[in-house]
Structure 1
Amino acid sequence: MAAFASDNYAPAHPAILDAVAAANAGHAVSYGEDPWTDRLTEHVRHHFGDQAQAYPVFNGTGANVVSLGALLPRWGSAIVTDVAHLHTDENGAPERVAGVKLLPVDAPDGKMRPESWGPYTINLGDPHRPQALAVSLTQSTELGTVYSVDEVRGLVDTAHAYGMGVHVDGSRIANAAAHLGLPLRAITTDLGIDVLSFGGTKNGILLGEVVVVLNPESVHGIEFVRKMSMQLASKMRYVSAQLAALLDPEHDLWLANATASNARATQLRDGVDALAEELAADGRTHESGAPLLHVTNPTQANVVFPTLPRSVADAVRAEHPFYDWRPGAHPDLVESRWMCSWDTTEDDVDAFLAALRKAFG
């Protein structure tokens, strides 16, 4: 039974397991002074430029906490979207652990816009108000949308003009690069991003992410921040070996996995849209007049957000686990989240769509 709940549900890619097994040979210096971490740094610099610095960590929350903790002074705050994982799904870790106040702005499609920063930029220099000294954007966004190159450039240029640093939560940045058809450097380093949380867990590895410092002058004491945030692995070779295998330019497994999961989400979206059209053609609508099935935002990465009756969602979920995202416009409607993974197959999607059709009768 294939799950569509989260790309975290997926197993590790066999090549990643092979890399871990290969790293499990003999003794190696701890805390990152090992050949696998050196290799990871080489691959990171291949993708992001010679100035890039790599700091492996245990998980995505840790990567974000370390990034903001090193990017901001003690009095600094960070602007995020109202749906940012930093803001909604990390249990206040940036504020509790790093002491970074988060300043949310509305983002109906998951993307922030510079004009939304006004309530915070107007207070820059006022010691009574939180100081917005960084911006954190998510690429691809929590709603499955992808910032264009021009959108990111506009955000970065505006932030830097205000003296703010720019962090990217890139837990799914591989999916964004696959959608845009661009190398990683073109959507990060070349646009002036300062620090990136590069995701691996959602793209085929066992555990681990890597903080990639793209502008070394923008961070301070990151080695100390990583340690005090409990994100420094003693046997780092096992984390680094996975990320090195993922980013190895000879194979570009990061891109292959992301391309595969994006393709399955596109297949799923096409099937949902076709069914929605059939329901509408048959005159089947919600009692309020709303469509029985529809998707609002474009599907650009590896996730689809449909709105449908709760009864239908529950029937499909019994066969294919997934999460609900938020309530619909009416009590008996719900917006769900259907996530595809690197190992999701065409047959998995077909089976899911068959279950959906069955639930609609």
Structure 2
Amino acid sequence: MSIRGFGSDNFSGVLPEVFNALKEAAYGHQHSYGEDLYTEKAIQDFKQIFGKDIEIFFVYNGTGANIVSLSAFARSFNAVICAETAHINVDECGAIQKQAGCKLLTVPTFDGKLNTGLIQNHMHGFGEQHHSQPNIISLTQCTELGTTYTPEELKEICDFAHARGLYVHMDGARLANAVAYLNCDPLDITVKAGIDVLSFGGTKNGMMFGEAVIFFNTSVCQNVPYIRKQAMQLHSKSRFIAAQFSAILKNGLWLKTAAHANRMAQKLANEASLIPGIKITQKVEGNEIFAIIPRDKIECLQKECFFYIWDEDASEIRWVCSFDTTESDIIEFVNLLREKLL
């Protein structure tokens, strides 16, 4: 490939600060299974952002974070309400259903976002022994379609859920991009909105591996260590996840990198939208761009700069920018689009 691809922020490398943190943590001995100084520090780093009345559990990956989050609240006879496009529904190979035993109640959306009207469609069957019992709503921030919930939208959903005895989970694999886009305090779209548990993403934002599960509602946390262990998400050398988090949280690096990725996405969307034959299909509110391009041009473009097809029937594709995407990458790719499409 002559041009760096736009396939996923999982394609990106690792931040130098993360590499340095891993090198530092590599020397000497520390207690295992989270009883080390690095894990203790990372927990305190998170509490500086989200407040002291939280519980934090480090895990390997995003699927594991979602399993631990949802399993803490939901039993096998419960149901999770989510958007049809939710990662837990589309891209986790039935992990929630297998590990937690829960049913997923999906909601079709145009932009990946739930609202109380859409959720209301699943507000029935309570107390009926023949039906799975809804007990938690899962939201993705930013959504799988690159859109972002506002603090007001989140609070409305959380208030709606809590009034009916339901909990709210946030899949925050790209939470940093949402905070950067909204230019808000992270508390505004988590604690203050009423989120009960958050899957906090690291891998898509410059870490080598690792995510965090943050409980704002700590009433269920006594069982989480066992859930994490059964889900095979307990890392014996926990310090290597924790050290990375301390590195990206220091001096707001996690938001600076996300803001850069967002800017690159907006630049790519702006430039691409000027090319005849390209139609941007979703608002660009994070680091993802969705666009319809001529079907017969996709394969030749992918050979020179890889990206994924999102909806083959609609000829819709997805481009993703990362912390290490450069303006030169954007210019080269836009020039390629012009060459192939004009």
User: Partners of 2:191 and 2:220 in 1: how far apart?
Assistant: 13
Query: Match of 2:213, SS?
Result: strand
Shift of 1:119: 3.5
SS of aligned partner of 2:299: helix
The change in CA–CA distance for 1:72 and 1:219 in structure 2 (over 3 A counts) is: farther
Give the structure 2 partner of residue 351 of structure 1. Answer: 332
Q: Structure 2 CA distance, aligned partners of 1:158 and 1:10? A: 38
Alpha-carbon distance, 1:345 to partner: 0.2
Give 1:152 deviation, angstroms: 0.4
Instruction: Report runs of 4+ in structure 1 exceeding 3 Å deviation.
Output: none
The residue number in structure 1 matching 2:177 is 175
Aligned positions of 1:87-98 closer than 5 A: 87-98=89-100
Q: What is the CA distance between 1:219 and its match in structure 2?
A: 4.6
Structure 1 counterpart of 2:258: 258
Structure 2, gaps ≥5 residues long: none
Q: Which residue of 2 aligns with 1:305?
A: 290
Whole-angstrom CA distance in 2 between matches of 1:187 and 1:342: 22
Q: Give the Cα separation in 1 of the matches to 2:59 and 2:100.
A: 15
1:201-232, Cα deviation, whole Å (9 max, x unpaired)? 00000000000111102555111100010000
Residue 196 of structure 1 is matched in structure 2 by 198
Query: Displacement of 1:118 after TM fit?
Result: 3.0
| Residues 280-313 of structure 1: per-residue CA shift (max 9 Å, x gap) | xxxxxxxxxxxx3201211010011010112222
Matched ranges for 1:10-49 at <5 A: 10-49=12-51
- Tell me, in whole angstroms, the C-alpha distance in 1 between the residues paired with 2:234 and 2:68: 10
| Cα shift readout 1:166-209 (whole Å, capped 9, x = no counterpart) | 10000000000000001211210111100000000000000000
Give the CA deviation at 1:274.
1.7
Question: How far, CA to CA, are the matches of 2:234 and 2:115 in structure 1?
Answer: 34
2: CA distance between counterparts of 1:247 and 1:71?
A: 28
d(CA) in 2 for partners of 1:342, 1:154? 32
Corresponding residue of 1:325 = 310
**2:299 paired residue number:** 314
State whether residues 71 and 220 of structure 1, in contact with CA within 8 Å, keep that contact through their aligned partners in structure 2: no
Residue of structure 2 equivalent to 1:289: none
Give the Cα–Cα distance (whole angstroms) in 2 for the partners of residues 328 and 78 of structure 1: 28
| Equivalences for residues 122-271 of structure 1 within 5 A | 122-248=124-250, 251-271=251-271
Aligned residue type for 2:330: V
Asked if the contact 1:56/1:239 (under 8 Å) is kept, the reply is yes
Structure 2 CA distance for aligned equivalents of residues 131 and 147 of structure 1: 26
1:59-111 per-residue CA deviation (whole Å, 9 max, x = no partner) reads 00000000000122342211010000000000000001121211101111010
Q: How does 1:40-59 map to 2 (within 5 A)?
A: 40-59=42-61
Unmatched 5+ residue regions in structure 1? Answer: 280-291
Matches within 5 A, 1:97-116: 97-116=99-118
Summarize deviations over 1:13-33 as a string: whole Å, max 9, x none.
010000000111211000000
Aligned length: 340
Partner of 1:78: 80
